[in-house]
Amino acid sequence: MKKVNTLILAFLCLLTLNLSANNGTSPLTADFVTGNPEITSINAISFGPEGILFIGDSKSAMVAAIDTKDNVAAEAPKSVKMAKVDEQIATLLGTTANEITIQDMAVNPISKMIYFAVHHSNGTPVLLKTNGETIEHVPLSEVSHSKIDLSNPIDAEKKDRRGNSMRVSAISDINYFEGKVMVSGLSNEEFASTFRSIPFPFKAEQMHSSLEIYHAAHGKYETHAPIKAFLPVNMDGKANLVAAYTCTPLVVFPMTNLKPGEHTTGQTVAELGNWNVPLDIIQMEKEGKAYLLMANSSRAVMKISIDEVANFSDSLTEKVAERSGTAGIDFINLPFVNVQQLDKLSDSQFIMLQRKGNGDLDLLTQNNRWL
C-alpha cells in the first residue's frame, strides 16, 4: 500500500508540474494579478527573467513588474536601422514629435524586441515596443503584474533650488540582479541619495542604503545627488555597483558594503567631465575583455575597461584643476555623439537611439569591433 501511495503521489506531482507548465505559471509570477497597475509615470525600465519588465514610476513612488508574455526566444537581428523614431512614435500616438519624450529604452534579452518608455506632454506615460520594422503600443490597462511602493521616497512637494520638483528623481535608474530589483534615486532621509535592493517576487521587505561620494568636479563630498545610471558588475569574482552621477563622477560600491539602513561612501575612480549627465551604462565583451559603454547628454559614448576599474586602488579626493577636466582611470571617446539611449542587444551588438546630424532620431546597431 505504501508503494502504491508513493506512486500516486509522484503521479500527482508530475500532473501538477505539467498543469503549471501548460498554464504558463512560474514561481516568479505566481502572485501576479491581472488588471491595471495604475502607472502614472515611466522613468526607468529594465528586463528581468522570463520577459518580466520592471517599471520605475517616480510619480507614484513605486516599482511595477509586468509579465509581458514576450518570452519566445529569438536571435538578435543582424542589424537594426529605423529612421525618425520619435516621429513614428508621435504618429502612433496621434501627436507630434515635440510633444513626446523618450524616457528610457530596454531590450528584451529573450525576444530581442526593443521597448520604449515615453511621456506625452500632457503627462500620459506610454509603453511601446518594436515589432520588426514597426513600433506598436503595449497596453498597460489589463496586464499581469505585481508592484511595490518605495519606502520613504522623496516628498512629492519637495523642490530644488531652481523650483523644480525633486519627485522625478525618486527613481533615476533600475536593474535586476541575482533575484533583486535594484533602484537608485532620492529618499526623504537626511542623506537623500539612496540605493534600494528589493527581493523579487515582491514582498514587504526592501533594503535601502544612503550613499556618499567625492565629487571631483565640485571638489567636495556629496550625499544628495542621485545615481543617474548604474550597472551591477562582477570584478575579481565580487559583485560591485558601478555608478555614474551628474557632472560626471564614476563611483564603485562593493555590494557587501550596501547594507540595510547603513550609510556608505563609494570609491570615486574617475571624473569624466562636468556639464554632463550620464544616460545609460552597459557592459560588452570582446576576446575575453570586458568594457563599460556609457552614453552621455553632452559627451560622446565612452568606453571604459572594467579591468582598469578593478585595478584602480586609489580614490579621488581632490578637485580637478581644470574646468571640465578629467581624472582617475582612462577612457576612450567613441565616435558616437548625441546618443540618447543605449542598451545591449546581443553578446556582440549594442543598440543606440541617436540624434543624427540632420536632426533625425534614429535607432541603429553597432557591434563590438569598437571594443
Task: Write down the pLDDT at residue 19.
Answer: 35
Q: Which residue's C-alpha cell is 536601422?
A: 81
What does 5-70 look like in DSSP terms, one character per residue? Answer: HHHHHHHHHHHHHHHHHHHT--TTTTT-EEE--------EEEE-GGGEEEEEETTTTEEEEEE---
pTM: 0.92
**How many residues are listed for the chain in this entry?**
371
DSSP state of 225: S
Average pLDDT over residues 186-198: 95
Task: Write down the pLDDT at residue 360.
Answer: 97
Q: At residue 147, what is the residue type?
A: K
Average pLDDT over residues 21-34: 81
Q: State pLDDT tens for residues 253-297.
A: 999 999 999 999 999 999 999 999 999 999 999 999 999 999 999
Q: What is d(CA 349, CA 45) in angstroms, rounded to the nearest whole number?
A: 20
Q: State pLDDT tens for residues 140-170.
A: 999 999 999 999 999 999 999 889 999 999 9
Tell me the pLDDT band of 3, cut-offs 50, 70 and 90.
very low
Tell me the pLDDT band of 2, cut-offs 50, 70 and 90.
very low
Residue 93 phi, psi dihedral angles, 5° rounding: -90, 0
Tell me the pLDDT band of 24, cut-offs 50, 70 and 90.
low
Task: Write down the pLDDT at residue 5.
Answer: 40
Q: What is d(CA 337, CA 366) in angstroms, rounded to the nearest whole number?
A: 13
The mean predicted confidence, pLDDT, of the chain is 93
Please answer whether residues 84 and 364 qualify as being in contact, where contact means their C-beta atoms are separated by less than 8 angstroms.
Answer: no
Average pLDDT over residues 20-49: 88
Would the pLDDT of 309 be above 50? yes
Q: How many CB atoms lie within 10 A of CB 247?
A: 21
Cell digits for 151? 519606502
Residue 350's SS3 state is strand
Q: What is d(CA 39, CA 54) in angstroms, rounded to the nearest whole number?
A: 12
Q: State pLDDT tens for residues 204-250.
A: 789 999 999 999 999 999 999 999 999 999 999 999 999 999 999 99
Average pLDDT over residues 36-46: 98
Task: Write down the pLDDT at residue 14.
Answer: 37
Average pLDDT over residues 94-102: 97
Task: Write down the pLDDT at residue 204.
Answer: 79
Tell me the pLDDT band of 25, cut-offs 50, 70 and 90.
confident
Long-range contacts for 367-371 (Cβ within 8 Å, ≥24 apart)? 368/284, 368/285, 368/286, 370/303, 370/334, 371/284, 371/285, 371/286, 371/289, 371/291, 371/303
Q: State pLDDT tens for residues 4-22.
A: 343 333 433 333 334 344 4
Q: Which residues of 166-187 are buried (b: 16+ CB within 10 A; e: fewer)?
A: bbebbbbbbbbbeebbbbbbbb
Q: What is d(CA 122, CA 319) in angstroms, rounded to the nearest whole number?
A: 42
Please answer whether residues 225 and 215 qualify as being in contact, where contact means their C-beta atoms are separated by less than 8 angstroms.
Answer: yes
Q: What is d(CA 161, CA 159) in angstroms, rounded to the nearest whole number?
A: 7
Q: What is d(CA 229, CA 174) in angstroms, rounded to the nearest whole number?
A: 8
Q: State pLDDT tens for residues 322-340.
A: 989 999 999 999 999 999 9
